[in-house]
Amino acid sequence: MNETTSSKPMYEKIFDDVKHQIMSNSYRPGDRIPSEKELAEAYNVSRITSKKAMELLAAEGMIVRKPGRGSFVADPETGMQEAAAPGRQDGSRGVNGHGQEQTVKLIGVVLTDFAGSYGTRLIYGMEDAARERDCFLVLRRTFGVQENEEDTIRKLLQLGVDGLIVFPAQGEFFNAEILKLVIERFPLVLIDREIKGVAAASISTDNTKAATEAAEHLFDLGHTHIALLSPPPVDTSAVEDRIEGFVQAHAGRGVAADRSLWICDLTSTLPNSFNDENIERDIGRIMKHLQEQPAITAIFAIEYYIALLAKEAVTRLGLSIPEDISIICFDSPQFRIGEGYAFTHMRQSEEEVGKLAVENVLAIMEQETVANKIKLPAQLIHGESTGPARDVGK
């Protein structure tokens, strides 16, 4: 069978079949019933569909689900609580003060990567929220490779996670596994990205507004010839929004956005491209660009690592920051006093994004309505890298 051969949803078909087998004593109290994976294979459906059927059976008190052990027919005479009690031995099930079964929720977290500039505090926020809500996270990095992302999502579903938080890989299209989750209404929250035209919950920075504020900071310092440096923006909503905010800032100040000052195809900071050869190539491109465009007095870097490339290029040209060239970017590691170089940057609310991601995916699990798209403000942090524009006539 498949999910389109009947007007009745397949999860209801599976639910009805298993319930009938329990009621007819084909499965007796204490018997283990087929797993989500086994049911999915037997009915030729996705794990998401079989999982929903199992959740309905558990909600009706027909079965007891014991993570790591399987699902078992509940004993109607001893009651659901007593049947569930042995599960407390593995720390996954118990009974609360109201006599209701409690289940520890498991949330899969799929990130491209994380570092001091962005990602570490995101995980802090998730972990804090998970501890407060008594659930656990399973984290896996994909390094921005869509094949890794698809494989990770499939394996987390096989593991039996109750929901997913995904920081999608950069690329022209979202992978099929994410789109399948959206269609199946599986508890899913995207962070940093959104699927345009698709009703998937997402939490991100208000990148357009933040980029506008960053560009306005440069305008306030007298800069009018500003280079924009970014990776390819194709279908990457965060990059697209930052470029849009940069353009809006120009329009608001009555300054023409001169695209000849931009480089929008730097690739060395992309996953699997961050190597010495590509880094040197991009630094060389930025150096050549600054030499060919001597009117440039400031650089707007889409991300922290591109700001590092720009800083190196400016230094190799024998120029000073910020006296000759100012640089502003998104994110920067939070060094202790006296450590590292502090760029002027837009700091994203990483911990809040992480906290909201956990809270929202838990709310979706409980079939509560959550905001489709949440955009958080960023904060302008003054550093060493911006100053008044030099006189380009000198």
User: Do residue 66 and residue 111 come from a single domain?
Assistant: no
User: Do residue 67 and residue 198 come from a single domain?
Assistant: no
- Looking at residue 177, what is its pLDDT? 84
As averages over each run of 10 residues, the pLDDT of the chain (394 residues) reads 57 90 90 88 84 84 75 70 36 39 80 83 95 94 87 91 89 73 88 78 95 98 97 79 96 94 92 84 97 97 95 97 97 68 93 96 89 94 95 65
- Looking at residue 335, what is its pLDDT? 62
- Classify residue 147: in a domain, yes or no: yes
- Looking at residue 97, what is its pLDDT? 37
- Classify residue 286: in a domain, yes or no: yes
- Classify residue 388: in a domain, yes or no: no
User: Do residue 259 and residue 339 come from a single domain?
Assistant: yes
What is the number of domains present in the chain?
3
- Classify residue 4: in a domain, yes or no: no
Out of 31, 54, 85, a domain closes at 85
Query: In CATH, what number is assigned to the domain containing residue 236?
Result: 3.40.50.2300
User: Do residue 216 and residue 312 come from a single domain?
Assistant: yes
Q: Which phi and psi (to 5°) does residue 95 adopt?
A: -125, 130
Query: What's the CA angle centered on 277, arms 274 and 281, to 5 degrees?
Result: 95
User: How far apart, in Å, are the Cα atoms of 168 and each of 46, 194, 234, 373?
Assistant: 21, 9, 14, 15
- Classify residue 97: in a domain, yes or no: no
User: Do residue 186 and residue 225 come from a single domain?
Assistant: no
User: Do residue 59 and residue 126 come from a single domain?
Assistant: no
User: Do residue 344 and residue 246 come from a single domain?
Assistant: yes
- Classify residue 382: in a domain, yes or no: no
User: Do residue 192 and residue 256 come from a single domain?
Assistant: no
Tell me which residue range forms the domain holding 184: 105-204+350-375
CA–centroid distance for 194 within its chain? 9
Please name the residue that has the structure tokens 């570490």: 120
- Looking at residue 337, what is its pLDDT? 54
User: Do residue 213 and residue 200 come from a single domain?
Assistant: no
- Classify residue 335: in a domain, yes or no: yes
- Looking at residue 336, what is its pLDDT? 53
User: Do residue 176 and residue 211 come from a single domain?
Assistant: no
- Classify residue 132: in a domain, yes or no: yes
Query: In CATH, what number is assigned to the domain containing residue 29?
Result: 1.10.10.10
Residue type, 17: D
User: Do residue 290 and residue 365 come from a single domain?
Assistant: no
User: Do residue 198 and residue 232 come from a single domain?
Assistant: no
- Looking at residue 207, what is its pLDDT? 95
